[in-house]
Amino acid sequence: MYDARIDHEAGRWSGEARIPHAWLPPDPYRVNAFAMHGVGDQRRYLLWEPLTGIAAPDFHQPLDFPRFDWRS
């Protein structure tokens, strides 16, 4: 299931996806969430969990994401 919502007035987008557990690869799972706001020198990066040893946020390095236990 996938659902997306666009609020044109507020200039926001949000979405939700539900994936059956059977479609996921075996443990260990690694998860992080990123948000980027602004342009150029004003751009800010927000992360759910900071990535250690990396100077700038990089969502292309999933092996550096923290482990996630979907059962908790």
Domain interval for residue 9:
2-68
pLDDT value for 72: 67
Q: What is the mean pLDDT of the chain?
A: 85
Per-residue pLDDT tens digits for 17-38: 998 888 888 888 888 888 888 9
| Concatenated DSSP letters of 13-25 | EEEEE---GGGSP
For residue 70, is pLDDT > 80?
no
- Domain count of the fold of the chain: 1
What number of other Cβ atoms are within 10 A of residue 42's Cβ?
A: 7
The mean pLDDT value for 38-67 works out to 83
Q: What is the pTM of this model?
A: 0.54
Cα–Cα distance measured from residue 58 to residue 32, given in angstroms and rounded to the nearest whole number: 11
| Residue 23 backbone dihedrals phi, psi, to 5 degrees | -80, -15
Q: How many residues in the chain?
A: 72
